[in-house]
């Protein structure tokens, strides 16, 4: 699983998302993250095919939405995602949210897909520690990934430690705090210190925390700039400075109190 990829949440299906995926892959990205609820899987598939990059070299991720959760419906949702993407398999399929009373049956279907339908890896998204602990009481396969809201205002180190202990790869969504990261003076200072953009600073921080990150952009120059994070390293004290910004603040929904 590449540690850095392109997220396509809110990218419009058609030309916008197709171009974003194509530009990213042509600029060296090898990890594309979408979901059925994003409504842009078809455009993502077109971008993959038009990029000129071989399918086997691209790590493609999608997710089963809440209304599709359950055993049979999850299997059908997977087949539908493949059809829209026009692909033969997914590299990673995630349970999008922990729907109460359903996520265990959904996970049983994910295990079936992993064993029988060519999914290379299965995981979850937005699962807190208690969700994971509950799932692990009946799971045959430990989730391989947990994709969570993660940024300097929401570190959730205890959850990261739990995932690391159980060999669950932690992954960030909304790493730029839905744009609020650009308002922080400390980020402006670090950007000047390292001669990098604010986005590059926080995305580099993700990697140094061992967290996979998938920033979203539909702009060619920003897609390219976001990936320019492999030629520098944050000093340990600067990594700590960003950790110390943690205030348990979410910009997205709370996994324990959501209604989709």
Active-site residue set: 38
User: What value does the CA radius of gyration of the chain take, rounded to a whole number of Å?
Assistant: 18
- Per DSSP, the chain holds a count of helices (H) and strands (E) of 10, 8
C-alpha to C-alpha distances, 84 to 18, 28, 46, 113, 199, nearest whole angstrom = 13, 24, 10, 17, 31
* C-alpha dihedral (157, 212, 47, 217), degrees to nearest 10: 60
Nearest-10 Cα torsion for 4, 147, 14, 65: 160
Unique residue bearing structure tokens 């996979």: 212
Q: How far apart are CA 180 and CA 69, in angstroms?
A: 32
Pairwise CA distance, residues 242 & 204, whole Å:
11
């Amino acid at each position: 699983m590449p540690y850095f990829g392109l997220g396509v949440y809110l990218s419009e299906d058609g030309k916008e998302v197709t171009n974003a995926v194509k530009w990213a892959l042509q600029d060296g990205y090898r990890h594309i993250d979408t979901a059925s609820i994003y409504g842009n899987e078809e455009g993502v598939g077109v971008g993959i095919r038009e990029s000129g990059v071989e399918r086997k070299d691209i790590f493609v991720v999608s997710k089963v939405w809440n209304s599709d959760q359950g055993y049979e419906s999850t299997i059908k949702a997977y087949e539908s995602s493949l059809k829209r993407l026009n692909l033969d398999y997914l590299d990673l399929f995630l349970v999008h949210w922990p729907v109460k009373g359903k996520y265990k049956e959904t996970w049983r279907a994910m295990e079936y897909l992993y064993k029988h339908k060519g999914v290379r890896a299965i995981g979850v998204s937005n699962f807190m520690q208690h969700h994971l602990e509950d799932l692990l009481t009946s799971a045959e396969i430990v989730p391989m990934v947990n994709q969570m809201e993660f940024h300097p205002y929401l570190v959730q180190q205890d959850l990261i430690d739990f995932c690391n202990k159980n060999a669950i790869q932690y992954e960030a969504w909304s790493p730029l705090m839905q744009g609020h990261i650009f308002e922080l003076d400390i980020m402006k200072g670090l950007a000047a210190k390292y001669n990098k953009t604010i986005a590059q600073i926080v995305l580099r921080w993700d990697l140094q925390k061992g967290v996979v990150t998938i920033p979203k952009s539909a702009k060619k120059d920003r897609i390219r700039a976001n990936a320019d994070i492999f030629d520098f390293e944050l000093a340990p004290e600067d990594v700590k400075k960003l950790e110390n910004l943690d205030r348990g603040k979410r910009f997205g929904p709370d996994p324990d109190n959501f209604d989709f």
